[in-house]
Every structure is written in structure tokens, then in C-alpha cells.
Structure 1
């Protein structure tokens, strides 16, 4: 039968003290699999690579794409597939609008605001609002310019809505499609470090057009100098967003091709803004004469003279 002393619990001291007393003891260390080692052995990363990761978010790109794949696992012919493109809240939309209005050098707009959840909700409604802002402001501008003229008769120009919609939506979809195809082609030629999806490019272009909504409203002012100052300010802000966003995607390419790509992006954006201002606001308007009803005597006189 065991002695009473053998059944009593003993308090064990510090592990280090026990090991010091018994040098022949064997220890086993079990590490937490979730714990990362404090010191990693490996070659140091170059500063250029760290800058690219900071600017483009390459460390999180694979995780983001995996999450996006899990989120958009529905077939493309279902409503749920397209519903994910509009799954944003008001705070996200406001944050992306703020990012398009306040371009910060060294901060990538896609990485900071869009890559986590690119959407079509903001670009669609920004383009729709811009279409009506340009069409309505163009009609009001024409009315204010000819206000007070006795020979002028105001006629609403509803065709401006369809023309503006064609121009804005064609730019917001066709230009990103062409740019996405060009980047994919250059990525196959050069081992590029960045990859923008078509949805991300459309999102960038859509939010970059937000600055033109208040600009189009202010274009009602019947002063050409003021209008051109406004368009230059809007072009500078939105063009900076596009240039700083897509420059990291092409800077590893040939220097001339990279510069030509950025210049083309800015020139197409300038063509849109200047073209809208020139066509909808500064184009010479035809005088709308008042409509008169011809009397029978006037009709007979006109017939004799002919």
C-alpha cells in the first residue's frame, strides 16, 4: 500500500530552476502554429519592391482576389452575380468620392479605396447624374444667354440628354475596356508587377467623373473665362487621379510606352471635358424665332409672289 507521503501533491518550481538541478532532463518545446517567428531568415527585400507593395498592395492582392472569388461564386447569368457589384454602403461611396476629389501623391486610389470591394453603383449613378447635369445646365445656359432678346423663343433641347448619355457612358465603359486590354497585352510582353481588373478600372473612371457634376452646374454662368477656369480645375483634379492611379501599372514597362500611355489617358480625359463644354455650352446657338400663324391674306400674297 502506498505511503501517505506518496499521495500528496508537490509544488513544482520554476522550469529554469528544475533544469538547472537536473541537467540530464530532456525538454520539448511546442510552438503555437499561429505564432509567427520573431526572426526570419531570408534575403532582404529591395526598397523598390517595398515601394511597389506599399503603393499597389501586392501583399494583399492574392487574398483580395480569393475573397472576391468566394464572394462572386454565383453564375454570371444569375441576378445574385450582378448584385455583388452594387453591394456597397453610403460610407464607402462617400469615401471613394472623397478619394477622387483629393488625390494624394504616393497613395494609390485602387489600393486604398477600391480593391477591397470594387462596385458599379457609384460609377453608374455618377454618370447618370452627370448626364442630366450637363443637359439641364446646357439648356439653362442657352436660356440665360438669350434672355431679354425679343426675337428669341426658348425651345427645350431634349436631344442633349441622349447625346450627353451616349458620350458619358461610352467614355466610362469603352475607354476602360481599351485600357484594360492594353494593360493585359503589355503584361504578357513584360513581367509587370501590377494587375488591374476591368471592374477596378471602370470604378476608377466612374468616380473620377464626379468632379464634373458641380462643374457642369457652375457652367451655367454666362462667362467663357469662368467656364474655362472651372474646366481646367476639374481636369487637373480628375486627371491627377487617373495619372497617379495608372502610372504604377506601366512604369515597369518601356519608358516611352509608359509615358505615352499616361499622356493618352490624360488627353482622352481632356477631350471629354473640353468637348462637353464646347458642344453643350459654348457652341453657337440658332436663334429660335417666334412662331406666327399665317393669315389667309398673307397666304394669298405669298402665292401670287411665287
Structure 2
């Protein structure tokens, strides 16, 4: 009997403490009763184990998360998550790369910690294909204007453009990510992006060159350079505005050299995409006949007796 009184007093003491924290709360002696809307229900069982159901649910969730294992990098499921994006997300990220704004971080506002490889992969493939096609079209149009220019299909341009662009999108971000990781050890305040985020930023920054390469078919040199400079400015600005929140914590010298290197490499890629000016083939040398008085005298043949 004394044990029951102590248990009841213990329940009343716990309920009093909870009511002191929430004065508008309503106490119930069971977990199955309903409470009016706008009140906080404090359920105290006879065993003093309120909130046991929440603990059971949390333990179940933890067990489910532990059972769900991350697939290995050699499996298809590991890479499937990097292509799990819809059309709206890809278009939104392309729009963000075409319209860079100061203070607008592409990684934080567009990627939102969910980088993808779908957009960068197809942007690089499309750019390589467009470069090869426009390169051949440039030769065809030039031959129509000047018959002295010889045209032959150059299918190797697809391979050259593809290898160059994919190497740029993977190797340059790898070097940049490694350098920022090294600087993080030197200066703890420098926090780099992940490698996939860096690749994603570089991949989407190349989209502006796809319409630019098509516009380069216009045979006006100054207009071609204008389109190229505009595309380079937009693409480089997207990279600089994205990398600036990371490198600004470093020294001014390191930040200036790093951003200058990024812009310089981007400018080299843009210059390599621009078609070279075509020059007509030199006419073959014509054979000229020497006058008779300049011809060497014939050598006499030795007669055999």
C-alpha cells in the first residue's frame, strides 16, 4: 500500500513539474484520450514512462537507416543518384549559369547540396558535337565563297573536341579541388566545395558556348570576337562568383592568383573553340619551258664497234 502511495505521489510530482513549464497544458492519465485543440497533453502512465512511443519510433527509424546500406562505387546504383534530376532542375541550373549575379552562389542557390552529372555530361557532349559540325560547315561555306579552298570531311574533330572538353571539365576541377583542400589544412577557415560540386559548376558554365559556336557561323570576324568575348565573360563570371565565397577567406595573393588562373584557363578553352581563319590554297607551281638556246647540248653516245 505504501508503494502505491509513493508511486502516485511520484506521478503527481512529475506532472506538476511539467505543468510549471507549460501552464496551459492539460494532464491525462492515459495516452489514448483526446485533448482540445490548442492545449498540450502530458501523458503520465502508471509506470512513469511517458514518451515511450516516441522513443520506439526513433529506434525503428534508426534501425531502418542502418539496414539501408550505401551501394559501392562499382555498382550502378551508386552513380544513379548523380543522374537523379528532372528537367526543371536542369533548366534552373542552366539559367543560373547564364545569368550570374554578384553575391548569388551557384552551389548554394542552384545545386542546394545536390550536384548532378546529367547536366554537365550532356552539355559537354553537345558542345563537342556542335564544334565538330560547325567546323565542317565553316569549310563548306568558305568553299562556296572561294573555290580555291579545298574541303574534306573532318570527322576527327568530334573526337578531338570531346576529349579536350571532357578532360577540361574533369581535370581542372580536380586540380582546383585538390588545391583548395590543401589550403584548408593551411588555413582552417577555407572550406572548399566537394569534387562533384566543382565538376557540376564547370559543366554548367560551358553551356553558354553552345549557342555562341552556332553564332560563329556568321562570317564577320569582329562579330565573332564579340560573341566570344560575351560568352567568356558570362561563363567566367559564373565561376568567379561561385568560387569567391571560398577563396576570400584565404590571403589576397592566393585568391587573386587562383581566380586569375581559372579565368585564364577558361579563356584558353574559349579561344580553342573558335574556328581559325581559313586561307585559300596556294596555286600549284606551273612548269615553265626553257628556251632552246639555254638547253644543255646533247651528250654524244659512245658507239659500240
Query: Does structure 1 residue 269 correspond to structure 2 residue 261?
Result: no
For 2:174 and 2:74, locate their aligned partners in 1 and report how far apart those are by CA, in whole Å: 21
Query: Does structure 1 residue 28 correspond to structure 2 residue 25?
Result: no
For 2:108 and 2:138, locate their aligned partners in 1 and report how far apart those are by CA, in whole Å: 40
- Determine if contact 2:183/2:190 at 8 Å carries over to the other structure: no
Moved beyond 6 Å, runs of 4+:
none
Shift of 1:286: 6.6
Tell me: CA distance 1:28–1:206, structure 2 relative to 1, closer, same or farther (3 Å): same
Q: Which residue of 2 aligns with 1:59?
A: none
**Alignment of structure 1 residues 181-260 onto 2, 5 Å:** 181-260=178-257
* Higher relative contact order (CA closer than 8 Å, sequence separation 6+): 1
Q: Which residue of 1 aligns with 2:129?
A: 132
Q: Which residue of 2 aligns with 1:21?
A: none
For 2:219 and 2:176, locate their aligned partners in 1 and report how far apart those are by CA, in whole Å: 36
Q: CA RMSD in A?
A: 2.4
- Find the residue that maps to 1:104 and give its secondary structure: coil
- Determine if contact 1:127/1:168 at 8 Å carries over to the other structure: yes
Tell me: CA distance 1:149–1:84, structure 2 relative to 1, closer, same or farther (3 Å): same
For 2:229 and 2:141, locate their aligned partners in 1 and report how far apart those are by CA, in whole Å: 23
- Determine if contact 1:154/1:288 at 8 Å carries over to the other structure: no
Shift of 1:142: 1.7
Count, aligned residues = 225
Shift of 1:116: 3.1
- Find the residue that maps to 1:257 and give its secondary structure: helix
Shift of 1:284: 3.8
| Post-superposition CA distance 1:136-167 (Å, at most 9, x none) | 11111122122143444431111111111111
- Determine if contact 1:137/1:216 at 8 Å carries over to the other structure: yes
Q: Which residue of 1 aligns with 2:92?
A: 95
Q: Which residue of 2 aligns with 1:282?
A: 276
Shift of 1:276: 1.8
The TM-score, its normalising length taken from structure 2, stands at 0.69
For 1:72 and 1:228, locate their aligned partners in 2 and report how far apart those are by CA, in whole Å: 52
